[in-house]
Amino acid sequence: MSKSSIKALEFFTAESPLSQPIADATHQIPAINFIMARLTLQDGTTGEGYLLAFHFNPAAIRGALADVRALALGRDVNDTRGFDRLCDGEFEYFGAVGLLRWARGVVNIAMWDAKAKLAGKSVRALLGSVRDSVPVYGSGGWLSYTNDELRAEVTGYVRRGFTAVKLKVGAREGLARDLERIALMREAVGPDVRIMIDANQGLDLAGALRLADKAKDYGIDWFEEPLGHTDFAGYAELKAKAGMKLAMGEREYDLVALRELAERRALDLWQPDILRLGGVEGWLDSAALARQHGLPVLPHYYKEYDAALCCTIPDAYGVESFDWVDGIIDRPLRIEGGRAYPADEPGWGFTFKDAALQEIRF
């Protein structure tokens, strides 16, 4: 085997130091947990990738990781797209999307970390960087927060230099509660900070239209996942009537929704999730298709990867920031003045701390 062949592949669980119960319009989440992949090449080079697991389907995802591990061992780390094709071919019978796509994605990301290290470059330099930073917004605003917790979070973001913040909508108490929280946020951050709202697919068309109509008074920048992600006709009608930008894409494992919504002119911002799309190539392929339709890219959650990738494309709208992994990695992403600056070190530029990890044994 060559020095760039994968000799070992391990998986670990980790919990955020900021772990707490949170809730959006569709889920109650008891803790903030991750799965991390660490591969080792024949020459000793390592590569890491992680996914946000929360508490969902632990037995199923461990099985998916075991299946992907069997296909990764012995592969040349430089052939990431070939690895993707191999996985999709092997997994076609039961479906290459879903948990199997997540598992493929976390290994693909670790492969990119290792192959960039072999080249002595950062991932963005390896791909061809066009800028050194991208806009970033502070995310959270969970429906489980009290008013005081919401105010503390958003004012904390502003003190740190963030110029845009997002909150969850779709409260069980209804429209009045959503508008109360939006008004609280606007009062807390002032007139110059952009505000976005995210329904996590928790509204129907009528409810989304009512909320959009009332929320416009607070200067909402975009409305994220207002409807179920396959309600293409609903998105088209909402886009025609809402009077604000619509964003979605984080639940997609392929490019079907992007094509359908773009053809209907029902979308303003594309939100690729690097894990659900199976890794770096899937993310970049989706960004290229979005560009063909004039849709800027606004990726979901993974700022440590998304900031680097957004620096390689001409039409990145921004990246989402949570602090959840910062306490368990050695070099958190640098954020200053409302912008994210990916590391210049080889690979993705950060490593998980061993003390935070618990090995998954198969």
Give the integer Cα–Cα distance in Å for 270 and 318.
Answer: 11
Give residue for tokens 């191999």: 86
- Cα 332 off chain centre by: 16
Query: Residue 302's closest CA among 60, 123, 81?
Result: 123
Question: Could you give the CA distance from residue 319 to residue 340 in angstroms, rounded to a whole number?
Answer: 8
Cross-strand pairs, 76:
5
Query: What gap in Å lies between CA 167 and CA 175, rounded to an integer?
Result: 14
Alpha carbons 303 and 320: distance in angstroms, whole number: 6
User: Rg of the chain over CA atoms, in angstroms?
Assistant: 20
Q: How far apart are CA 50 and CA 70, in angstroms?
A: 18
SS3 12: strand
Q: How far apart are CA 255 and CA 92, in angstroms?
A: 17
The 8 Å CB, 24+ separation contacts for 215-221 are 215/169, 215/178, 215/179, 215/182, 215/244, 216/243, 216/244, 218/182, 218/183, 218/185, 218/186, 219/186, 219/191, 219/194, 219/195, 220/182, 220/195, 220/196, 220/244, 221/164, 221/194, 221/195, 221/196, 221/245
* Strand pairing category for 319-321 and 334-336: unpaired
CA distance linking residue 111 with residue 116, whole number of Å: 8
Contacts (Cβ under 8 Å, ≥6 apart) of 183: 218
Torsion sign over Cα 87, 256, 295, 100:
negative
- Catalytic residue, candidates 27, 229, 293, 300: 300
- Is residue 293 part of the annotated active site? The answer reads no
Close Cβ partners of 288 (under 8 Å, ≥ 6 residues apart): none
Q: Which residues are catalytic?
A: 300
